[in-house]
Homo-oligomer: A and B are copies of this chain.
């Protein structure tokens, strides 16, 4: 061992001990008579001391060492005069006797500090330096601990981690697959899995009962800021269970994780139907860290000479507490906000609930004080509050009001990253109609079972069929979702028909699963969590990229290793493919 201790563990109790430490030079201060070096490793920082009087040669040597040099030092632990209360090793320093330079370092292209001066692209290019920064390093340590806790919990509950293959077949339903040409089978391709969905169902048919896997998945989608072409999923499946069993099991997982990772004891998670989520929050992943639910106002505001409201499919209001004192400028800013194309509202109507019990509104022309009071009562608004109203087509208005509600949550500081509000959203619709292709798509995936009581609707009113499908939402972020699965061949066949598959296509793509259903498939259900997303949510962070050691950029590139890259003609020839000119 090059070292006896880490740079994060020596304290006053080790004073007098001879030690060897290794690490990187964080910074160096030359005070003339004394030189101090902060030596850093994964575990912390320890101060090294060099004295010009007692050991001038060594002190001179120390002064030549630049930032990020890797060194090994031998020395003695001593108590510090000027203690640093901010770090665990702040009471001691090392009186250095020898320095061994293990490797020099060029000047790093950005500072290895919590607040670095490096831009995103530069830090990605030198990700190995970026990871030396506390922020990134701690994220990776958190990720490791989270994965250990998940594995220990699930394993303790009798779940078995089973590795499923990465080289599988392409199934065009869903997102785009990454393909892998097969050299040994000319003209054929493997596909990388978008999820182990069919394999975990086969494992249930195989009798494995409780399966999980923390596994990489792949989607060749056009990337948004928070998507990666490869991402990690906590994938789970159980046999002989109902939806209730799944929710209980994984609520148990999350309660344990909140306890172990954040020291928080969580109450039972509330549940909300998909329909209620849309009605009260305008989205299927409401942020419950604050209230401000939507209030429908059609009956109170329509047919009173205000044509905008009269023509609207939906009029909804939210009550922003204690915002009655918003200035003209603030209200204009909110109007600008809702008119942004990403939000998409035509305009904003407001009602100020004055302290004296009167009301002031942008639609005073059309509505009297009594009308406004009725609205205020419906919205549970009290004196000093502000009511914000949007109207229009149902979906558009819900979407816009969802954005406005979240914006108000931000403005009012109601979305603290220390607060965790989980929610099960249940009873999702089974299918989703797509206007463009004029067909139904599976809302969750084609293996999700219709609720037994809705099954009869499948043929004549598919849009009305609900599924035993569920999402776990935390602070407005969907961290995972799942469903009770189809396990009977006939229902799966009907499902493919509704989705517009010919029997032949269904057989070609999913024949192996439908055949498997004929050999004693048990009832089963499952769930999958986005692991990168989980890491981010537990840390109150938006971007998943911060929790991935070597992420790709928005063009799917790894700029550090220059991937993807050109390959040799010989390689392509062996694979029997040609790149189109």
Interface residues of A (CB under 8 A from B): 1-3, 22, 24, 40-43, 68-70, 72, 102-106, 108, 126-132, 137, 140-141, 143-144, 147-148, 151-152, 155, 160-170, 172, 176-192, 198-199, 202-203, 205-209, 216, 218, 220, 222-223, 229-230, 232, 239-242, 245, 487-488, 512, 516-523, 548-550, 552, 555-558, 560-568, 571, 574-580
Residue ID in chain B nearest A578 by CB atoms: B578
On whether the beta carbons of B560 and A512 are closer than 8 Å, the reply is yes
Known contacts A216-B163, A222-B184; A512 and B562 CB within 8 A of each other: yes
Contact indicator A567/B189 (Cβ below 8 Å): yes
Residues in B neighbouring A106, C-beta threshold 8 A: 518-519
Known A207-B42, A521-B103; contact A220-B22, beta-carbon cutoff 8 A: no
CA distance A1 to B181 in the complex (A): 44
Please tell me if the beta carbons of B520 and A69 are within 8 angstroms of each other in the complex: yes
Contacts of A42 in B (CB 8 A): 207-209
Contact B579–A165 (Cβ < 8 Å) = no
Copies in the complex: 2
Is the Cβ of A550 less than 8 Å from the Cβ of B199? yes
Q: Once the chains are docked, how many angstroms separate the CA of A564 from the CA of B576?
A: 14
Most chain B CB atoms below 10 A, which of A43, A104, A580: A580
Q: Contact at A68–B520, with CB atoms within 8 Å?
A: yes
Question: Which of B152, B189, B203, B574 is in CB contact (< 8 Å) with A565?
Answer: B189
Bound-state CA distance A170–B566 (Å) is 8
* Least Cβ–Cβ distance between A97 and chain B, in angstroms: 18
Tell me how far the C-beta of A553 lies from the nearest C-beta in chain B, rounded to whole angstroms: 11
Shortest Cβ distance from residue A320 to the other chain B in the assembled complex, whole angstroms: 42
18 A-B contacts (beta carbon < 8 Å)? A2-B240, A2-B523, A42-B208, A42-B209, A103-B521, A103-B523, A126-B519, A128-B202, A131-B208, A148-B161, A164-B550, A165-B552, A169-B558, A170-B565, A180-B192, A180-B564, A184-B223, A187-B566
Q: Is B207 a contact of A131 with CB atoms below 8 Å?
A: yes
Contact of A144 among B129, B162, B241, B550 (CB under 8 A): B162
